[in-house]
Amino acid sequence: MWRLCYPQGLLNEKQHHVLSPPCSTGLGGHTWKGGTSLAEELTFARKASGLVRGLSLYDAFGMGIINTLPLYGIWFMFMSLAIFPKMNLLLAVVITTVTLGVVSPIVWGVLGASMPRSGGDYLYNTRVINPVIGMAASMGMVLGEMYWSIYMATWITQPSLQIIGQYTGWKGLTNFANSTSGTFLCSVLLFVAAFCLVSFGWRVYHVFIRPVLFITLAMTAVVFLPMIFRSPSSFIHIWNSAAAHYHSLNYHAFIKAVGKASGSPITGTWNWSDTIGGFTATFMLVIYNYVAAYVGGEVKKPGKAVFLAHLWGNAITVGLSLICLAGLYRMVSMKFMVAAAWNQLNGPIAGYKLPWDTSLLGVTFMGSGMNRVFGVLTALTWLFGTIAIFAVILVFVQRVLFAWSMDRMAPKFLSDISTRWATPVKGFALVAVLICGFSLAYILWLKSALTGLVAAGMMTVSVFLVTSISAILLPYRKRVRMIWEASPYSQWKIGRVPVVTIAGVIYCGYVLVLLYYAFLSPRTRDITGKNAFIFIGIWVFGILWYLGWRYGNRKKEINIDVAFKELPPE
């Protein structure tokens, strides 16, 4: 019987993974064909992943910016004024940009360049920290992203189709968008469309994604331009004219009524406490560009691509948010912004009868002079962006499952590559079917119980916090010393401290602020903290998953501990 072992390997810098020397097996100690040891051959699911480095820096950037979906991040930033009414939005964005916006590309870029394989945080955390923690965190990431997908799938109807109906007066479309059957039907069609976009090769994906990327970025900028040229008196006139037509509250009466409904007058002033609390919203502008790290095995020159794609994505999203803020602060008062955000989240209040909500999209629609063409284009930007973001999520969730499979932590078929399409079609199909089933449960039973903030909480704990620790420890862990020494960023230091460690500390500090508001702050813990049992349950499930697969492999006399000391084959 073969005895599996793992001697100290040699790092091949060109191939960027450990090639084990001959292992004393008791049967001659020969290596297998290709220079790999018996241990390596049996540990990983196959000799090569089958993935091809066919994605450019532009593709990596596109995935990140689509996953961030700037219009959504800015929309959510505006809505956060309902929870932190004395937040200085501009200051919160600037602080987030110079901290998280700078260090996030470093954290993910250095980890991605040091371990240029597909799988993202699962790969980094299992190699740097510990396989048990890495698996539990990765389980949180997978289920969190699946839930994000389910939640975002409803955006096809609400707000996309819903506001098209509102802005055009098409009540039938609005009613369809607000119905349970309409929401589920459109969600399923979205899943099918996204599956087709990613399953039949990168060429099919590019035909749709590249034009959509351009359209969504261009239209997001166009959405905010009218606000820059609209004077406060002109906006008040538009509002009051619409209010008179629909027998609704006028501009100043609306602000006063919201203050009464919220329990305290709206002052329009700001303080540091609310501004720091606002980080729980502004972080969405810059943290979700990490997607390139999950397709590191398919990106050309990952040493640069993962870092630059994240950095460029952050710059564009922040730029768009600043255009939005410039328009908002010029067009309306701070009191109105707070009132509109509160009415969006908690309303509509008594007396508000306009046929559209007071979200950022509603405010920009009025800023355009209630131009229907403008409103429809805004809705279509959100709609096409939603299709694109779901396709991207389908890719990187599947790549995590792919990495599990390569490490023998999941069924082998999840890493099967179709010879015709050169993609893991089976893996895509499984993820799409699971999300479709979960979507039905969410729309029918869980919509009022769970919100997007729950998914954000899962990601904060399982992905951002744990990965920041990996970034801090990467230069100091003996188990990955050879990987770190071969990294193109190993010489980046300030004094004697590696830049990735410094970035990891700042990243971790920002994440801890988010966790404080998620689980401890009296103002917000009831939104996310009450669902902490979900996070704990997922981590326990992830640990049991790891132990179960480890036990199963040991029964087959395969020592998978070897896998977590080196990188998977390319």
User: 3-state class of 17 per DSSP?
Assistant: strand
pLDDT value, residue 34: 40
531-559 average pLDDT score: 87
Q: Does a structural domain hold residue 7? A: no
Residue 334 has pLDDT above 90, yes or no: yes
Neighbouring-strand partners of residue 295: 118
Three-state SS for 334? helix
Confidence of residue 528 (pLDDT cuts 50, 70, 90): low
d(CA 500, CA 521): 30
For the chain, the domain total comes to: 1
The mean predicted confidence, pLDDT, of the chain is: 84
375-392 confidence digits (pLDDT tens)? 888 888 888 888 888 888
Question: Is a pLDDT exceeding 50 seen at residue 556?
Answer: yes
pLDDT at residue 13 above 60?
A: no
How is residue 356 written in tokens?
Answer: 């559209």
Q: How confident is the model at residue 527 (pLDDT cuts 50, 70, 90)?
A: low
Task: Give the separation between CA 523 and CA 266, rounded to whole angstroms.
Answer: 17
Residues 6+ apart with CB under 8 A from 103: 502, 503, 504, 506, 507, 510
**In this model, does residue 410 exceed pLDDT 70?**
yes
Who has greater pLDDT, 108 or 219?
Answer: 108
Is 2's pLDDT higher than 80? Answer: no
> What is the structure's pLDDT at 41?
54
Return the HEC string of 368-408.
Answer: CCCCHHHHHHHHHHHHHHHHHHHHHHHHHHHHHHHHHHHCC
In a domain, 10, yes or no: no
pLDDT for 453 equals 54
- Is 27 part of any domain? no
Give per-residue burial for 373-400: e unless 16+ CB within 10 Å, then b.
ebbebbbbbbbbbbbbbbbbbbbbbbbb
Of 232 and 537, the structure prediction assigns the larger pLDDT to 232
**Percentage of residues in the chain having pLDDT higher than 90:** 40
Q: Structural domain of residue 488, as residue ranges?
A: 44-565
In a domain, 34, yes or no: no
What's the pLDDT tens digit per position in 154-173? Answer: 788 888 888 888 888 888 88
Q: Is the pLDDT of residue 295 over 50?
A: yes
Residue 151 located in a structural domain: yes
Q: 313 falls in which pLDDT band (50, 70, 90)? A: very high
Residue 54 lies in a domain: yes
Q: Is the pLDDT of residue 403 over 50?
A: yes
Q: What is the pLDDT of residue 456?
A: 66
Instruction: With a cut of 50, say whether residue 509 has pLDDT above it.
Output: yes
- Model confidence pLDDT, tens digit, residues 16-46: 443 333 333 222 333 333 444 444 556 777 6
Tell me whether residue 3 is in a domain.
no
Show the tokens assigned to 208: 């749709």
- Specify the pLDDT at position 53: 78
| Residue carrying the six token digits 């939104």 | 527
Check if the beta carbon of residue 415 is closer than 8 Å to that of residue 405: yes
- Per-residue pLDDT band for 303 (boundaries 50, 70, 90) equals confident
Residue 552 lies in a domain: yes
**Euclidean distance between CA atoms 396 and 293, whole angstroms:** 9
Q: Which helix (H) or strand (E) holds 11?
A: strand 10-12
| Predicted pLDDT of residue 309 | 92
Q: What is the mean pLDDT of residues 399-423?
A: 89
pLDDT over 70 for what percent of the chain? Answer: 89
Of 110-119, 137-146, 333-342, the poorest mean pLDDT is in 137-146
Output 136 or 43, whichever has higher pLDDT.
136
Q: Is the pLDDT of residue 529 over 60?
A: no
Q: Looking at residue 493, which CATH number applies to its domain?
A: 1.20.1740.10
Residue from 224, 243, 228 nearest 364 by CA: 224
DSSP secondary structure letter of residue 412: G
pLDDT for 42: 67
Over residues 493-519, the mean pLDDT reads 92
The per-residue pLDDT for range 197-218, each reduced to its tens digit, is 888 888 888 888 888 888 888 8
Work out the average pLDDT over 364-372.
90
**What tokens does 265 get?**
């007058």
Nearest-angstrom CA–CA distance, 488 and 305: 12
**What is the pTM assigned to this prediction?**
0.86
pLDDT at 563: 80
Helix residue spans in 410-465 (DSSP H):
425-441, 452-459
